[in-house]
Structure 1
Amino acid sequence: TNWLERMVKELADAKYTEEEMKERINAEKKLETFPRLEFGDPGVYERMKKLPSRRIIVTHLTPHLLPPSIFQSKAKILVLVRNPKDTAVSYYHFCNSMPVLPSFASWDGYFADFMNGKLTWGSYFDHLLEWNKYIDNERVMTISYEELKEDQVLGMKKIAAFFGFSLCEEDFSRIAKKTSFKAMKEKSSETHGKFGDILFRKGVVGNWKELFTKAQNEEMYRKFEDSLGGTKMAAKIKYDVYCKA
């Protein structure tokens, strides 16, 4: 999410001069707003209204928890999805590294909770099922972590076209270098402070192979098929490509 947020901001800001960028950054700092819909004090939404256009706001919430006005306005929504096995492993490490979240004594104990949706922000499967209802909405675009990892420039071109950002070829190359996992991890202490090491761990596809047992592979496959099998969201995830045991 942090990776995609940085990419979208860079794509949106490509048209601004250095001076204009400084003004925008200062305006954001003055408002003391952390642009996540579900975090902050009650006054955060009033302050968000004062953020310079275009406002880029991030959330982990499912559609039914978002204000209905979002779907009735001109807002555009970019939904990021990731294969369930890597999501599970990434979130396991995140929970055990983030002091404000419950930690887990074992992978097996965590896996059971992940499969039952007993985690902060709820069930992975329900989350994707909810967003699947909007997959054909012209104001909603779904992109996968894996396709961005395979060809970041192509992914950014799709995102830019969706949002109506106008960039040249050099912009895409420059932004791809600036937002590579390596570049962002190296600067993470500057950009994310003490959370840098927590948010930028490995940034790879297929790390699930280090933790999943044969029985867990089988359980995940059954659950994915039962929950999402045959949906357009399942086709986007490409389970047979990225989760093949």
Structure 2
Amino acid sequence: MGILVTMGILYPSSVCSAETFQALENFEARKDDVVLVSYPKCGINWLILIVNDLIATTLKTKHENTELPFIECGDPERYQRMKQFPSPRIVATHLHYDLLPKSIFKNKAKVLLLFRNPKDTAASFFHFHNNAPSIPSYNSWEEFISLFMNGQVAWGSYFDHAVVWNKHIDDENVLVLTYEQLKEDLVAGVKQIAEFFGFTATAEQIQAIANRTAFQAVRDKSQETHGAVGPLIFRKGVVGDWKNTFDEAQSQKVDAKFKECLEGTKLGAKLKYDVYCKT
């Protein structure tokens, strides 16, 4: 299984290509694009379903889009096809801040950033790699976590991604939510998302969307919505599942890295590290 390296970051060549990255530079974002950003395995596929439901419910439009949702994946012609998509388009990506198409910021599209605690992210990423057929697998968890800590995994370093976004956490048109927040109170999360993107939804509609897109409901229908890969994308959705994977030494390494990169930052506070990442 091939690996593509662009600007020092690894990507699976089964879904990403140098030609697509080149074409992406000229991608023209619209002001009303719904831009969803996250590091892999932080819940963005779940978020896409929530936002799709919000758009369908409030605007009475259903997007029949068969493209891979991530703008860095697929063939270079996809951006031409995207020009035909009705607004609002969902633009999803795992790309680091510095690699996002410049037109997103130039045209003032709103960006919703979803984060998840690093230990659950790493554990989920490892399981995904070893279960999904189209991406490389690892011989062991020990091998994966060592590479994850060094940023030598697909889409690069979780911590680099977080450090740069922390600098933009107060930017106009940026909203940061966490996976844990959505798991804890999905109704409040859906309401926040609707308000941020300007979708007018009643309390009843928000409750209905939250019921339909609760993680378990989404997981139960995942084969229907995402085909064979669905149950791999929506595997467990549990907060704290990292405890079944990490040993004490690995856990302490992540603690030290989090402290070095994010302690005392606004993003660090949002991640509630002591709540979700300490035994």
Asked if Structure 1 and Structure 2 have the same fold, meaning a TM-score greater than 0.5 normalized by the shorter chain, the answer is: yes
1:56-135 correspondence to structure 2 within 5 Å: 56-135=90-169
Q: Are the counterparts in 2 of residues 153 and 173 from structure 1 also a CA contact under 8 Å?
A: yes
SS, match of residue 101 in structure 1: coil
Separation in 2, partners of 1:79, 1:185: 22
Query: Which residue in the other structure is 2:26 paired with?
Result: none
1:225, CA displacement in angstroms? 0.7
Query: Which residue in the other structure is 2:182 paired with?
Result: 148
Counterpart amino acid of 1:6?
Answer: L
Of the candidates 203, 217, 222, which is equivalent to residue 188 of structure 1? 222
1:154-233 correspondence to structure 2 within 5 Å: 154-233=188-267
Separation in 2, partners of 1:140, 1:68: 15
Of the candidates 27, 30, 51, which is equivalent to residue 8 of structure 1? 51
- Which consecutive unaligned segments of at least 5 residues does structure 2 have? 1-43
Separation in 2, partners of 1:230, 1:72: 30
- State, as a whole percentage, how many aligned pairs show the same letter: 51
Bigger fraction of residues in strand: 2
1:17-56 correspondence to structure 2 within 5 Å: 17=60, 20-21=61-62, 24-25=63-64, 28=65, 32-56=66-90
SS, match of residue 58 in structure 1: strand
Separation in 2, partners of 1:197, 1:180: 15
1:15, CA displacement in angstroms? 2.2
Separation in 1, partners of 2:108, 2:55: 16
Separation in 2, partners of 1:237, 1:43: 37
Separation in 2, partners of 1:182, 1:122: 29
How many residues align structurally? 236
Q: Are the counterparts in 2 of residues 76 and 163 from structure 1 also a CA contact under 8 Å?
A: yes
1:34, CA displacement in angstroms? 2.6
Counterpart amino acid of 2:152?
Answer: K
Separation in 2, partners of 1:155, 1:61: 23
Post-superposition CA distance 1:27-61 (Å, at most 9, x none): x3xxx533311111111111112111001111000
Post-superposition CA distance 1:81-134 (Å, at most 9, x none): 000000000000000011222211211111101111110000000011121121
Q: Are the counterparts in 2 of residues 33 and 48 from structure 1 also a CA contact under 8 Å?
A: no
Separation in 2, partners of 1:223, 1:34: 33
Q: Are the counterparts in 2 of residues 82 and 237 from structure 1 also a CA contact under 8 Å?
A: yes
Separation in 1, partners of 2:73, 2:230: 18
